[in-house]
């Protein structure tokens, strides 16, 4: 069968560097760090006392008090991002087939704050087992796409993906595939996470996965630097509206970019560490290129996973050179996580937005926090990591990488739209 073409017609974001897409994009281009001391709980006894929190997010601005009681913070972030994306896409529910609009959101952890609070309350009062009636629906990872569909009456495909840090890239890949197979006209797709809690930070501390650079939070996420000591936790949500091309043209929708291809692979190597030669990353980028029917030299920009971990950054650079060969030196590469921190299950959607806007605006966001003299001998600095300053250049096509614990890999390619 002939596959349908898929385009991006709406964007929404709630991030540590902006609670809407224009603010997020401007901060990204300006190289703004979202890392600050943690305010959500008393982190003074933790090894890590900072994170990239979403700032100035007042639930009462978006939800009435009674309604807000039904949502964990991860759902709130996702709902707000979805609202922005749907509005940006100009979707009029009176003029579209609601049976042909679906919702897929990814999350790595879901309602961890709700779960921890309810369990703590039970332990403290175990003689009287009282639980919030919204405990389960607030916590479960599939509830966010359910909320979005209920809000708008979208009756199409609806579920959640969970593959750690690849969760929302997998959500986007699924949404893309359903549309081009003719199973939906529009998909509301993205990811959300709100794991900056005592148990979230404590758990990642126990894994030695996150930075402990408490004396300088803003510079702690430093991908591709020798002194990197782990990722910085982030939170937030990203949402993209994917739409079948003819459907978008028929309703006069603005088109940001075309979705060209997606890949999904597994490392089959280790629970938390990447394959040392980047084998899974190589395979997933090759898979995305094959799916897009594109050659490596057609990619201009890669928004890398680039978490600022000792092993991950090395493996990813090896993978890029393995896939792109000499063209790797013509690419721009950058890590949004140097500014946003690592949004875990939401990271793929937020970084996909960065790719879409790079394609639209012909500008590549920087990788901040690199200083000369901090080079890692295992990293090839002939590659253009777009250090510290955004770079204007033609961006006809951009690729986004995300890799998750368990060896889950996802890549997706966006290209300038041409009829």
d(CA 320, CA 15): 27
In the prediction, which pLDDT does 266 show? Answer: 96
In the prediction, which pLDDT does 129 show? Answer: 82
d(CA 66, CA 231): 36
pLDDT band, residue 1 (cuts 50/70/90): confident
pLDDT band, residue 124 (cuts 50/70/90): confident
Write out the two tokens for 134.
């919204």
pLDDT band, residue 130 (cuts 50/70/90): confident
At 35-77, the pLDDT tens digits run: 999 999 999 999 999 999 999 999 999 999 899 999 999 999 9
d(CA 103, CA 277): 36
pLDDT band, residue 128 (cuts 50/70/90): confident
Q: How far is CA 261 from CA 69, 185, 251, 288, 402, in A?
A: 39, 17, 24, 5, 15
Position 126 pLDDT exceeds 80:
no
Q: What are the phi and psi torsion angles at 109 (to 5°)?
A: -125, -35
- Is 310 strand, coil or helix? helix
8 Å CB contact between 82 and 190 = yes
Position 419 pLDDT exceeds 90:
no
The pairing of strands 186-193 and 101-106 is parallel
Residue 231, CB-side half-sphere exposure with 13 Å CA sphere: 24
User: Could you give the residue numbers annotated as active site?
Assistant: 165, 305, 342
Q: How many helices (H) and strands (E) does the chain have?
A: 14, 14
**DSSP H helical ranges for 48-162:** 59-62, 65-68, 73-89, 112-124, 135-139, 143-152
In the prediction, which pLDDT does 272 show? Answer: 87
Position 167 pLDDT exceeds 90:
yes
For residues 306-328, average pLDDT = 96
d(CA 114, CA 34): 24
Position 127 pLDDT exceeds 80:
no
Position 150 pLDDT exceeds 90:
yes
In the prediction, which pLDDT does 175 show? Answer: 98
In the prediction, which pLDDT does 351 show? Answer: 98
Burial class (CB in 10 A: 0-12, 13-18, 19+), 49: middle
Position 87 pLDDT exceeds 90:
yes
- Is 25 strand, coil or helix? helix
8 Å CB contact between 345 and 162 = yes
d(CA 384, CA 57): 35
- Residue 205: count of CB within 10 angstroms of its CB: 15
């Amino acid at each position: 069968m002939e596959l349908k073409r898929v385009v991006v017609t709406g964007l929404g974001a709630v991030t540590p560097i902006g609670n809407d897409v224009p603010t997020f994009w401007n901060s990204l281009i300006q190289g703004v760090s979202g890392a600050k001391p943690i305010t959500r709980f008393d982190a003074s006894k933790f090894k890590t006392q900072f994170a990239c929190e979403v700032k100035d997010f007042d639930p009462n601005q978006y939800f009435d008090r009674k309604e807000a009681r039904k949502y964990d913070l991860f759902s709130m972030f996702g709902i707000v991002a979805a609202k922005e994306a749907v509005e940006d896409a100009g979707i009029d529910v009176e003029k579209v087939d609601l049976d042909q609009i679906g919702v897929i959101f990814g999350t790595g952890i879901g309602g961890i704050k709700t779960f921890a609070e309810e369990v703590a309350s039970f332990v403290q009062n175990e003689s009287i087992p009282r639980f919030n009636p919204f405990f389960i629906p607030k916590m479960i990872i599939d509830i966010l796409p359910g909320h979005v569909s209920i809000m708008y009456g979208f009756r199409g495909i609806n579920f959640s993906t969970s593959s750690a840090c690849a969760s929302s890239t997998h959500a986007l890949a699924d949404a893309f595939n359903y549309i081009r197979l003719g199973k939906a006209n529009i998909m509301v797709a993205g990811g959300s996470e709100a794991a900056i809690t005592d148990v979230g930070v404590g758990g990642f501390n126990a894994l030695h996965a996150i930075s402990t650079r408490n004396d300088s939070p803003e510079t702690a996420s430093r991908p591709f630097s020798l002194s990197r000591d782990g990722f910085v936790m982030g939170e937030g949500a990203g949402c993209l509206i994917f739409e079948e091309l003819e459907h978008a043209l028929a309703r006069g929708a603005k088109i940001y970019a075309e979705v060209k291809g997606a890949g999904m692979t597994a490392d089959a190597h280790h629970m938390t560490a990447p394959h040392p030669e980047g084998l899974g990353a190589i395979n997933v980028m090759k898979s995305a290129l094959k799916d897009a029917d594109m050659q490596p030299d057609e990619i201009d920009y890669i928004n890398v996973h680039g978490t600022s971990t000792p092993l991950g950054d090395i493996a990813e650079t090896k993978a890029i050179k393995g896939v792109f060969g000499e063209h790797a030196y013509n690419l721009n590469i950058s890590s949004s996580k140097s500014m946003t921190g690592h949004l875990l299950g939401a990271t793929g959607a937020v970084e996909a937005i960065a790719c879409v806007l790079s394609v639209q605006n012909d500008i590549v966001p920087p990788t901040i926090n690199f200083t000369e003299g901090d080079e890692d001998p295992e990293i090839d600095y002939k590659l253009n990591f777009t250090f510290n300053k955004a770079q204007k250049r033609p961006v006809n096509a951009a690729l986004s990488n995300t890799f998750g614990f368990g060896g889950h890999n996802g890549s997706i390619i966006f290209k300038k739209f041409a009829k």
